[in-house]
Amino acid sequence: MKEKKRIAFLDYLRVAAAFMVMLIHASEPYYLGGEAPNITAVASRGDAIWIALVEAVCRACVPLFVITSSYLLFPVAKPTGEFFKRRLARIAVPFAVWCAAYALWHGESLGRMLFNFPDAAGHLWFVPMLLGLYIIMPLLSPWAEKVTKAELRGWIMLWLFTTTFPYLRRLWSALYGEPSFGAVPFLYGECPWSMFGAFHYASGFIGYMLIGLWFRRFAADLTWRRTLAIAAPLWLAGGAVIGGGFYARIPQIPLSAPYSLAVDLEMSFEYCSTGVVMTVVAAFMIFRKITFSGALYSRVVRPLAEASYGTYLMHMFFLTPVFEALRPHCPTPVTIVATASVTFAAASLASICVGKIPRLGRWLAG
C-alpha cells in the first residue's frame, strides 16, 4: 500500500496474526510428534491443555489474513488483467520460490510442484487458497459494488450455516454409524463421486471474504466499551468451542495413534467452523479499534507488517531448529512461546533484509 493508503489497524493485525501462526506451529509437535505410522502423540494432560489454549487464542490467524485482503481489495477496482498481474507478482512468485527452497532443503522432487506444494512446505497451503479467492474476486466484484446490507447479511448467514458442517458430520456418524457409502459423512448432495454438494459454492473461505466486505461497507463504528462487550464474550465462547472440543475428544493420554486421529481431533480447529468464526470476528472487531500511528507504529509495526508475507513464507526454516533446541530443556509453555518469539524475530529480520535486495527483493519476500 502507498503511504497515503496505509490503514494502521490492518498493520497491527498482520503482525499479530503472523505471530499467532508461529505459536500454533510451535505447539503442533506436542500432538504431531510420534513415529510413523502413529504420528499423533500427546504425552500428558498438561501438554493437551497448552495445545488447547494456544489454539483457542490463535486459531483466528489465517482467516484474519483473508479478511484483511478482502477489506483492502474487494471489490476489485482495477482491470482484471492488472489485478491478476499485481497479485501474481506479489503472492504467487515468492510462493513458488520458497516452495522450491523447502523441497530442495528436504530432498523432494521439484517436479511435484507442477501438481501441489511440497510436503516440506505444508504450512504454505494458505497461499493457493488465497490465490483461489483472488481468482473469483473480479467475478464477484460487480455484485459486491451494489450489494445491500440486508442482502450481504443473508449471504453471510447462509455461509455461517455451512460452518456447522464439521460438527454435523460427526453427529451423523454418532447417530447412524458410517454413512451409506464411503468413510466420510457426506452432507447435502456430496458423495464419493462428487464433492460438489448443494452448499459447495457458498462454503469455505469465501465467507471470510464476505465478512471483510461487511466490515468495510456496513459495520458500525462502535466505542471501545461496546466493542469489548461484544467481542470478549464472543472470543471466549469461540475459544471454548475450539480448545474444549479438542481436549474433550482426546481418547486417552499418553496417546499414540495414526495421523487420521489428528485430523479428527482437529475438528474444532477447522478454519471454516463455527467456533473459529466467532474468534475471528471478535479479533477483527478489536483490532479495528487500534489507531495508534506514532513512533511504535512507524518504526516497528509497519516494517514488520510489510515483511509479514515473507516472514510467513520462510519461518519454518527457523522454527524447527529453535523448537528442537528448546524442547529438551524447557517446560511446554516456555518452549511454545520462546520458539514462536525467536522464530518471529528471526524470520521477520530475514524477510526485511531479503526484501531490500535490489530488483530481487519483491520476488523473494513479496
State the cell numbers at 332.
511446554
pLDDT top residue among 20 and 40: 20
Q: Would you list the domain boundaries of the chain?
A: 3-113+124-365
pLDDT for the residue numbered 284: 97
Which has more confidence, 176 or 189? 189
Which residues make beta-bridge pairs with 41?
A: 256
What mean pLDDT is reported for the chain?
A: 91
Average pLDDT over residues 268-296: 93
The answer to whether the CB of 52 falls within 8 A of the CB of 244 is yes
**Cβ neighbours around 217 below 10 Å, total:** 15
Could you tell me the sign of the dihedral formed by the alpha carbons of 240, 279, 133, 145, in that order?
Answer: positive
pLDDT at 17: 97
CA distances from 104 to 97, 113, 122, 361 (A): 11, 11, 14, 21
Instruction: Fill in the DSSP letter of residue 26.
Output: H
Q: What is the DSSP letter of 183?
A: S
Q: What confidence category does residue 180 fall into, taking pLDDT thresholds of 50, 70 and 90?
A: low
- In Å, what is the CA distance from 131 to each residue of 62, 198, 199, 223? 14, 24, 21, 35
Environment class of 296 (CB within 10 Å of its CB; exposed 0-12, middle 13-18, buried 19+): exposed
C-alpha to C-alpha distance for 292 and 275, rounded to whole angstroms:
30
φ/ψ of 32, rounded to 5, equals -125, 50
- In this prediction, residue 178 carries a pLDDT of 66
pLDDT tens for each residue of 74-121: 999 889 999 998 888 889 999 999 999 999 998 888 888 888 888 888
User: How many residues are there in the chain?
Assistant: 366
Determine what percent of the chain is predicted with pLDDT higher than 70: 97
- Give the percent of the chain with pLDDT over 90: 68
The pLDDT of residue 278 is 97
pLDDT for the residue 1: 44
Report pLDDT digits (tens) over 294-308.
888 989 999 999 999
pLDDT range class, residue 3, cuts 50, 70, 90: very low
CA distances for 351 relative to 98, 357, 366, angstroms: 12, 10, 9
The per-residue pLDDT for 193 is 85
pLDDT exceeds cutoff 90 at 333: yes
Helical packing angle, 126-146 and 206-217, nearest 10°: 50
Which residue in the block uniquely carries the three cell numbers 453427529?
A: 171
- Mean pLDDT, residues 234-250: 94
| Structural contact between residues 279 and 59, judged by C-beta atoms closer than 8 angstroms | yes
Tell me the per-residue pLDDT of 111-121, one tens digit each, with 9 for 90 and over.
Answer: 888 888 888 88
**Quick one: pLDDT at residue 2?**
43
pLDDT at 106: 87
Which string of b and e fits 156-193 if b means at least 16 CB within 10 Å? Answer: beebeebbebbbebeeeeeeeeebeeeeebbbeebeee
pLDDT category, 194, cuts 50, 70, 90?
A: confident
